[in-house]
């Protein structure tokens, strides 16, 4: 994560909206749990507020987990996104912590077995 470039334009709400459009084209909500993971430094400088996109997705029944990284991450903003999305917030300082976060999220996902 330390080698990832941190610069440029960040539109977190655009990413949330794009994820929502992808899920809308997927299988029926009767068969699929709608879960979104937003991985970001939280420093949005383009688009509408991420909380607004999270509110739209939450209204559609999507759970949103938010993960921040980097020492200057906007943890408060992304914690708010996760709260709106009835998900969990995490901050990862390194790759090992990020792997643990994904494991924790995976353990919250439902599994349905049918014949």
Single pTM value for the model:
0.84
CB 80 within 8 A of CB 39: no
Q: Give Dmax (Cα) for the chain.
A: 49
Pull the structure tokens for residue 115: 């014949």
- Residue 30 CA: distances (Å) to CA of 21, 26, 33: 17, 11, 8
Q: pLDDT value at position 31?
A: 63
CA distance 95 to 84: 26
Q: How many residues are recorded in the chain?
A: 115
Question: Which residue, 4, 76, 69, 9, is CA-closest to 37?
Answer: 69
Chain-wide mean pLDDT for the chain? Answer: 87
- Order of all β-strands in the sheet with 63-69: 35-40, 63-69, 89-92
CA distance 7 to 5: 6
For residue range 35-71, what is the model confidence (pLDDT) as tens digits?
999 999 888 888 899 999 999 999 999 999 999 998 8
**Which option is the CATH number for 12-106: 3.30.470.20, 3.20.20.70, 3.40.50.410, 3.40.50.720?**
3.40.50.410
Domain ranges of the chain: 12-106
């Amino acid at each position: 994560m330390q080698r990832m470039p941190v610069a440029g334009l960040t539109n977190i709400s655009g990413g949330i909206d794009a994820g929502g459009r992808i899920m809308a084209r997927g299988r029926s909500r009767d068969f699929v749990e709608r879960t979104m993971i937003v991985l970001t430094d939280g420093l949005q400088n383009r688009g509408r507020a991420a909380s607004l996109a999270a509110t739209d997705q939450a209204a559609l029944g999507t759970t949103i987990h938010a993960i921040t990284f980097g020492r200057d991450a906007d943890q408060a903003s992304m914690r708010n996104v996760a709260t709106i999305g009835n998900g969990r917030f995490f901050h990862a300082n390194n790759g090992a912590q990020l792997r643990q976060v994904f494991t924790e999220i995976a353990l919250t996902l439902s599994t349905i077995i049918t014949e």
